Amino acid sequence: MATEKERAKAELEQLHQIKESIDYLLMCRLEAYEKACRITASPYSMLKVKTTSFGDKAGNAAALAADLSAEITALFYDYWDLMLKLHEKISLIADVDLRLILELRYLNFNQWNIIAKKLNFSEKHVFTLHNKALLAYAEIGRDKNIFPN
């Protein structure tokens, strides 16, 4: 069974998972869209011969673009909704250092060495504070749960 600290960390990491989904979707789907566009980008002389075929391919490329746009838009709405909820919950942590560590790590996706530099702490101290921050976040989570168990 997961501890409160583990549940808090999993909740915070969901924003990064959505970001990774957006990145992956962009990479894979844009590649497919580019391929469809290359097929439709035929020289004009070829278009006169196969006009209906080009129309079908252009329609496919347009459909791919519309689908990609809709998927990305939905993920962005999820991303911003979750970011606002996490930020609201993190902002309830009284200790400024603990709050900053969570913001830098889970909202800004900074690496540990960057967080240490920004806060002028050693990485070891940042890890210690991070554990305290997760516990503080979990404590707030008892009263202000974003995700039901």
* Segment-wise mean pLDDT, segments of 10 residues, the chain, 149 residues: 85 91 81 66 44 55 76 88 94 96 96 97 97 94 57
What is the model's pLDDT at position 57? 58
Those residues with Cβ within 8 angstroms of residue 122's Cβ, 6 or more apart along the chain or in another chain = 116
Are the C-beta atoms of residues 36 and 64 closer than 8 Å to each other?
A: yes
What is the model's pLDDT at position 1? 55
What is the model's pLDDT at position 44? 42
What is the model's pLDDT at position 148? 47
What is the model's pLDDT at position 25? 81
What is the model's pLDDT at position 50? 45
What is the model's pLDDT at position 46? 44
Element (H, E) at 85: helix 51-90
Number of Cβ within 10 Å of residue 134's Cβ equals: 23
Separation between Cα atoms, residue 65 and residue 53, nearest integer Å = 18
What is the model's pLDDT at position 146? 55
Indicate the pTM of the whole model: 0.73
Those residues with Cβ within 8 angstroms of residue 144's Cβ, 6 or more apart along the chain or in another chain = 89, 92
